[in-house]
Structure 1
Amino acid sequence: MNNKFWIVFLHTYVTKLKSKSFFISTIITAFIVFGISQLDRIIEAFSDNAQKTIGVIDETNGWYEALQSQLQSNKEISLVRHDGSEEQAKIYVQTDQWYAYIVLDVQNAQPKVTYYAKNIADSDVIHGIEQALQQVKIAMMAKQIGLTYEQINALYAPIAIEKVALEEHAKTEEQLNQARAIVYVLLFAMYMFVLMYGSMIMMEVATEKSSRIMEILISSISPVQQLFGKILGVALLSLTQFMFIFSVGYVSMKQSDILRQLLGMNELPLSLITYGIIFFLLGYLLYAMLFAVLGSIVSRVEEVQQMAGPVTMLVVAAFIMAMFGLNAPESPFITAMSFVPFFTPMIMFLRIGMLNVSTWEIVLSIGLLVGTIAFLFVFGSKVYRGGVLMYNQASSWKDLKRAWQLTKK
């Protein structure tokens, strides 16, 4: 690689890095990631933690005491018995002395409960009362037919299924849950960054062509050096942004108990992260090559979306299959698709995270992926060499053939 390649590479990277759009998008994305990772604390900070007083008009025989016993551990609801009229209870609610009141009654041996409040938007309170009343109903009806509490508990106790994997070195359920969460996060990141930065390459090439700068560049540097300079420059830019956002998310998640337990952030599997980086980079190179080649046959910026559509659909299809594979990683369809180079970055990475994939399968999939990238490089460089000099409207995929033929002239 000569100095001209490095000029294109560094110019692409530094220009985009210093742009206001890159800075603003990075900060906003990092802020969103931070907000999502701290969502539990943000909700708690803005929540009204004061207990909500609920008045109870009991027209049954003993339901109030049983309901109060069920809600003792609920820190959000506080019950108070009301022996007065409903009109007085409404006044208490309307003047904010009570949050709401309920009327307990029994009709035809079945409980009838009416809930009154200024509004019924707070479903958490209603759901809490419903659950408690359900338990009271079970207890009351069991008492009528002579069942003891021990018998009731035995009747409603959930069945515990112990899962044992017979395959040697198979992942435990805890490891699978952790891997599933990590794989989902990395798959989503791969999906977003490939689309975002792949289209950036295509847009950059199309913009240069529309301003006729390409003719000047072609006379001073070979198309192949220019192609790889742009791809690697944008690749380094995407990694810079990804590492910053990932670092913010990682540090933030370490402070969040809920997300740390959900994602298993106490111990990140190094091998899984390594494979994630490998497939992320190879997937980026694969799709970046396609986007750059298509960008070279586009004459106007307005045509970018039209030509990018098929490549975008490939990325979307890979992501959808990966989401299906999270619940069925051993599916023959998922196994077969993991060896298709355009789907390998997401689907083989998914299989590695969820299963004990044989080494030869990993090596074969990476070999096929690298081979496809090499083929696209050879084919793409020839198309790129001719495509950057085409200024007619890109109307069909036949323009690829025309671009190829231009390289022979």
Structure 2
Amino acid sequence: MNKTWLVLSHEVETIVRSRSFIITLIVVPLVGFIILFVVGILQRNNPSPDVTSLLIPERPSLKGFIDHSGIIQDVPEQLGDIVQAYPDQESGLQALREGEISVFYVISPDYLQTGKIEMYAQQINLLEDTGSAYPVDWLIEYNLLKDQPQLLDRVVQPLNLSVEFIAAEKPPSNQNEMLTFFVPYGITLFFYIFILGSASLLLSNITTEKQNRVMEILLTSVTPTQMMTGKIIGLGLVGLLQMVVWLVSALFLLQFSGRTFTALQGVEIPPTIVVWGVLYFILGYTIFAALMAGIGALVPNLREASQATFLVILPLIIPLMFISLLINRPDSTIALIMSLFPLTSPVAMMTRLAATPVPFWQLGLAALLQALTAILIVRLVSGMFRAQNLLSGQPFSLKVFLRALAGRA
């Protein structure tokens, strides 16, 4: 235990005192504060538009149309500043070319029979849904049903939906669907980056020590298990420290940003996500750090190590590929399997937790399975260092990795 502590303290002291770690730890949150501070000053000097409107327009730009069907007789007051009628198609297209309107709709003469509408746009605009027929569809509905206001209301807004959650714990309320979708995205990517970054740090550390022959000297004084445990815990504490500092900074930034970006007002990260996030970070990091260490024990240099890491991080990529499913259908069978399987659980479970309340038994079972997997992998990978001199210089392959992991190398 004393030797494990020596390895641990050496790794922590070496990393924490490095200039690159200190700069990364401080500069990243500082840049966020500076950006929000500058934006706040600009808003006070020019308070007319909200900063969020730079990304999400509060109202649609002017759109033109020509009606060959004769359906549109009146333009409702709500659409007066949004749509513009043109007497002929050429004048509408000319206005589109000159940038007076964003899109131009041509309603065909046989619209009632075919529903055909042609839309012209000058170029693709990723910040505007040019593929939508709004507000022309509303304009047509208004003119067809203006004499039946009750039916018009039902056509325009068919549902007055009231939602009640029967789970014991209510999910956090978000004021719009966009943030409900993007908050889990942000948490997932944040978590993915930290696990991968911390595990990669251990891979780089072991590969460098192996190339410099420090590893052989170290193994004459400590057992492979003591060395692995000390390095994993030490570098894990460094990663956890960085995660906590950045997470606390993110919470302050989120609270402060509500004054600058109105779309972020009222957004809160539940404490359960923070608590479980720390636990899953520790377990997920231990699993992938041990696997990365196994790669470091086998490959002859850091370049080959970087190429081999794809095999290890593939399970972390799978939840990112299914992130829409995890967010939109967090209680589906696939989501449950990915959140319980130890190699995909750290990212998948955090995505589900950010999207919906997760039963405690699932959270506990996922943590238990990760803990057992972490213990098993650490023990198996420790055996690689007993055989690493025999494997030194061999090119990395999945077959060699699995044989070494099973203790057959």
Normalising by structure 2, we get a TM-score of 0.70
RMSD: 5.1
Cα deviations by residue, 1:85-144 (Å, 9 ceiling, x for unpaired): x99x97x99999x67998999957889999999x6667989969963444443333446x
Change (3 A) 1:234 1:102: closer
Cα 1:297–1:36, aligned 2, differ >3 Å: closer, same or farther?
A: farther
Within-5 A mapping of 1:145-294: 147-165=147-165, 169=168, 171=170, 174=173, 183-254=184-255, 255-256=257-258, 257-260=261-264, 265-266=267-268, 268-294=269-295
CA distance in 2, matches of 1:371, 1:101: 58
Secondary structure of 2:385's aligned partner: helix
Question: Structure 2 CA distance, aligned partners of 1:180 and 1:113?
Answer: 31
Task: Please name the residue that 2:10 is paired with.
Answer: 8
When residues 59 and 242 of structure 1 are mapped into structure 2, their CA distance, relative to the original with a 3 A threshold, is: same
Q: CA deviation at 1:286?
A: 1.2
Indicate conservation of the 8 Å contact 2:338/2:344, yes or no: yes
**8 Å CA contact retained: 2:187, 2:350:** no
Q: 2:270 is matched by which residue type in structure 1? A: P
Helix, strand or coil at the partner of 1:131: coil
In structure 1, the gaps of 5 or more residues are none
Contact preservation (8 Å) 1:33, 1:245: no
**In 2, Cα distance between equivalents of 1:232 and 1:259:** 39
Equivalent-residue separation in structure 2 for 1:350 and 1:94 (angstroms): 44
Deviation sequence 1:216-252 (CA, Å, 0-9, x none): 3334544434323332332233233323433343223
CA separation in 2, counterparts of 1:129 and 1:328? 26
Give me the whole-angstrom Cα distance separating, in 2, the residues matched to 1:219 and 1:381.
Answer: 14
Deviations 1:361-408 (A, max 9, x none): 44443233222222222222222343267422233343665698799x
CA separation in 1, counterparts of 2:151 and 2:394? 78
Label 1:387 to 1:103 Cα distance change in 2 as closer, same or farther (>3 A).
closer
Superposed displacement of residue 318, structure 1: 4.2
Distance 1:388 1:285, change over 3 A: farther
5+ residue gaps, structure 2, are 41-48
User: Do the aligned partners of residues 404 and 389 (structure 1) sit closer, same or farther apart at CA in structure 2, a change above 3 Å counting?
Assistant: farther
Q: 1:112 to 1:326 in 2, by over 3 A?
A: closer
Return closer, same or farther for 1:112/1:11 CA change in 2, 3 Å cut-off: closer
Aligned with 2:392: secondary structure?
coil
Residues 242-288 of structure 1 show CA distances to partners (whole Å, capped at 9, x for unaligned) of 23433343223222355535xx534x322232112111111111111
CA offset digits 1:183-215 (Å, max 9, x no partner): 443332222222222122112211222232323
Residue type at the aligned position of 2:12? L
Aligned length: 387
From the superposition, tell whether residues 406 and 158 of structure 1 become closer, same or farther in structure 2 (CA, over 3 Å). Answer: closer
Indicate if the aligned counterparts of 1:341 and 1:368 stay in contact, CA closer than 8 A.
Answer: yes
Correspondence 1:86-105 to 2 at 5 A: none
SS at match of 1:265: coil
Of all paired residues, the percent bearing the same amino acid is: 19
TM-score normalized with structure 1 length: 0.70
Match of 1:314 in 2: 315
Residue from 39, 46, 69 that aligns with 2:77: 69
Residue pair 2:224, 2:385 contacting (<8 A) in 1 also: yes
Which has more radius of gyration?
A: 1
TM-fit CA distance, 1:295: 0.8
Contact 2:69 2:108 in 1 (8 A): yes
Cα distance, 1:404–1:140 mapped onto 2, change above 3 Å: closer
